Amino acid sequence: MKKIILTAILLLGILSCSEKKKEQNPPLVAPFSNVDTLAINDWWNRTDNPIINLKINRDSIVAFGIYTVSNGTLKMSAQLYPLYPEESRVVRLEIEDKGEWKEIQKQVVNDLGWSALFRIENWDDTRNVKYRLLHGEKASFEGLIRKDPKDKNEIVLAALSCNSNKDRGLRENYVRNINHQDPDLIFFAGDQSYDHTEHTAAWLKFGLQFKETFRNRPCITIPDDHDIGQGNLWGENGKVSTAEGSSDGGYRYHPEYVKMVERCQTAHLPDPYDATPIEQGIGVYYTNLILGGVDFAIMEDRKFKSGPKGKIPQQGPRPDHIRNPEYDPASIDLPGLKLLGDRQLHFLEDWGTKNTQSLKVVLSQTGFCGGAHIHGQLENRLHADLDSNGWPQTGRNKSLALIKKANAVHIAGDQHLATVIKHGIHEFGDGPWAFVVPAIVNDYYSRWWWPENEKAGANPNTNTSLPWTGDYLDGFNNKISMHAYVNPESNSRGGGYGLIRFNTKSNEATFECWPRYVDVTQIDAQQFEGWPITVNLK
């Protein structure tokens, strides 16, 4: 009965927010709460939020804006702090035109998540345009919509992941470094929030930490498992998960909560390739974005993936952890198991055949192999982790074959462990290159690349002093060639970010990996051992 009441309250709130003629809406008040106390409750009557200060001046309630431009369409989300019942729900977008500010659109803020979306077609992407988001008489957020860098031979992407709540401080080092390196695009690969049922507060905190990196440039954000309130996610097309740890597949929390998270984090992305919702009415966002001479495919690793519980023989204390090194990997690669799912495989195949003059890049949450041996603590060695995209192996190989066919490189996060790997599908080295970037904060759950026999593989990388490079089989018998890795004993405990330079003339990508506490403005700034690495994409 409680679930039915909550569903009704949430839906009534959504309907009220969709009435765009109304500038004021009543508060969404629930008799109880198990999802997001800033979205459905009388937040102003509650104790101070431990994640972020909400008692701000009302001229500061526009927290940030985040945008992309692709194929002549601007999409921008305005993120607000929670509003009082009597406050207007209307936010306005203005641009500077010939020295004067001009309003180009109004939108209504959704009380579930406190965001609003602007979509402007026929956008002139040949010039830089100043913008500002306005609420009421004084609240504003200003920035720059950059022109498309079509005239550049090098497109630069900053890639980050895993913004642990074990450190709630600001991210001054990242902001300074990224703005100094001045990338054309920023990619946050997931786990922007680790506060599970408090996504609104955590998303506002993320914006407070990083808004100066995306105020003046386009930004891609995609949620991962922690963002939607789960330690791990095997989405299974949107079914309801009932098992502890959600290893049965599906989503644990109310679909309106999941939809709110995805709306806040992905509404500003280009329109989905196929917007058909999955089960429970949960949406999709997989799509592509073209910037300069680079075509980025934005994927959803988790949404269609099969959960292991009840489908494969359990080989450890948890359905997703294999501790038995003697098990047969073929025993868990069963017919009917999904990784990206048929819909996304179709998208990847179609994407790979279009814009063939562009350099191709796949962006997603996690890597397509078991790229770590030790998880969390040194004594916790896993033979294989089914949360990685090394499983199911058939789905992994289908995905990699399409990425390779497109001559694409793969960029991801999630693992907390930075790696550069050349995948093998049938033979070592016949698959695409992949760069998994480090965690922003790596004090929560570290991982190690540490072969049990402590031997280098065949064909080791001779350009680094790292001891364990070369050809290996992961815990699923997938073929991988390790070129570089960052274990947590390294600088900044292995925390940091990736910077990728795509040269559209030479069809090369250069991977850079920068420690969290390094100041790149200094002439002697050093990357992690093993980087930079330049690879050819043709």
Q: What is the pLDDT of residue 42?
A: 81
Asked if pLDDT for residue 371 goes beyond 80, the answer is: yes
Residue 263 has φ and ψ, to the nearest 5°, of -65, -45
Share of the chain above pLDDT 70, in %: 93
Mean pLDDT of 79-94: 96
CB atoms within 10 A of CB 213: 21
Q: What's the residue count for the chain?
A: 538
Q: What is the per-residue DSSP string for 442-457? A: -SSSEEE---TT----
CA dihedral sign, ordered 8, 10, 13, 15: negative
Q: What is the pLDDT of residue 40?
A: 62
Asked if pLDDT for residue 6 goes beyond 60, the answer is: no
Question: For 116-141, what is each residue's pLDDT tens digit?
Answer: 999 999 999 999 999 999 999 999 99
Q: What is the pLDDT of residue 528?
A: 98
Question: How many whole angstroms from its chain centre is CA 75?
Answer: 18
Q: What is the pLDDT of residue 17?
A: 37
Enumerate the β-bridge partners of residue 281: none
Q: What is the pLDDT of residue 47?
A: 84
Lowest mean pLDDT among 14-28, 195-209, 439-453: 14-28
Q: How far apart are CA 103 and CA 121, in angstroms?
A: 15
Give the pairing type, strands 508-515 and 533-536: antiparallel
Q: How far apart are CA 439 and CA 162, in angstroms?
A: 5
pLDDT band at 39 (very low <50, low <70, confident <90, very high): confident
Enumerate the β-bridge partners of residue 287: 298
Q: How far apart are CA 492 and CA 485, in angstroms?
A: 14
Q: How far apart are CA 5 and CA 442, in angstroms?
A: 40
Q: What is the pLDDT of residue 34?
A: 58
CB atoms within 10 A of CB 459: 13
Residue 448 has φ and ψ, to the nearest 5°, of -130, 140
Q: How far apart are CA 102 and CA 124, in angstroms?
A: 15
Q: How far apart are CA 109 and CA 111, in angstroms?
A: 6
Yes or no: say if 329 and 393 are a contact pair by the CB < 8 Å rule: yes
Mean pLDDT of 199-216: 97
Q: What is the pLDDT of residue 115?
A: 97
Asked if pLDDT for residue 27 goes beyond 90, the answer is: no
Residue 494 has φ and ψ, to the nearest 5°, of 85, 0
Domains defined for the chain, CATH in brackets: 2-96+103-145 (2.60.40.380), 157-189+285-363+365-536 (3.30.750.180)
Q: How far apart are CA 375 and CA 381, in angstroms?
A: 6
Q: What is the pLDDT of residue 444?
A: 80
pLDDT band at 175 (very low <50, low <70, confident <90, very high): very high
Q: Which of 378, 247, 218 is nearest to 316 (CA)?
A: 247
Q: Which of 160, 157, 159 is nearest to 183 (CA)?
A: 157
Question: For 159-168, what is each residue's pLDDT tens digit?
Answer: 999 999 999 9
Lowest mean pLDDT among 41-45, 276-280, 293-297, 306-310: 41-45
Q: What average pLDDT does the structure give for the chain?
A: 92
Yes or no: say if 82 and 109 are a contact pair by the CB < 8 Å rule: no
Question: How many whole angstroms from its chain centre is CA 104?
Answer: 30
State the Cα angle at 106 between 138 and 289, rounded to 5°: 110
Q: pTM of the predicted model, to two decimals?
A: 0.93
Q: What is the 3-state secondary structure (H, E, C) of 191-245?
A: CCCCCCCCHHHHHHHHHHHHHHHHCCCCEEECCCCHHHCCCCCCCHHHCECCCHH
Asked if pLDDT for residue 14 goes beyond 50, the answer is: no
pLDDT band at 248 (very low <50, low <70, confident <90, very high): very high
Mean pLDDT of 191-199: 95
pLDDT band at 53 (very low <50, low <70, confident <90, very high): very high
Give the pairing type, strands 359-363 and 409-412: parallel
Q: Which of 269, 233, 272 is nearest to 253 (CA)?
A: 233
Yes or no: say if 386 and 408 are a contact pair by the CB < 8 Å rule: no
State the Cα angle at 437 between 298 and 171, rounded to 5°: 100
Cis omega (within 30 of 0) for bond into 532: yes
Higher pLDDT among residues 20 and 528, named by residue: 528
Asked if pLDDT for residue 25 goes beyond 70, the answer is: no
Which three-class secondary structure state does DSSP give residue 481? strand
Q: What is the per-residue DSSP string for 357-421? A: TSEEEEE-SS-SS---SEEESTT-B-SEETTSTT-SHHHHHHHHHHHHHTT-EEEE--SSS-EEE
Asked if pLDDT for residue 23 goes beyond 80, the answer is: no
Asked if pLDDT for residue 292 goes beyond 90, the answer is: yes
Asked if pLDDT for residue 380 goes beyond 90, the answer is: yes
Q: What is the pLDDT of residue 241?
A: 96
Question: For 261-287, what is each residue's pLDDT tens digit?
Answer: 999 999 999 999 999 999 999 999 999
Q: How far apart are CA 367 and CA 433, in angstroms?
A: 11
Yes or no: say if 410 and 368 are a contact pair by the CB < 8 Å rule: yes
Q: What is the pLDDT of residue 143?
A: 98
> Contacts by 38-47 with C-beta closer than 8 Å and gap 24+?
38/82, 38/114, 38/198, 38/200, 38/201, 39/111, 39/112, 39/113, 39/114, 39/200, 39/257, 39/260, 40/6, 40/9, 40/10, 40/13, 40/112, 43/82, 44/82, 44/84
Quickly list H helices, 412-527: none
Yes or no: say if 26 and 85 are a contact pair by the CB < 8 Å rule: yes
Which three-class secondary structure state does DSSP give residue 61? coil
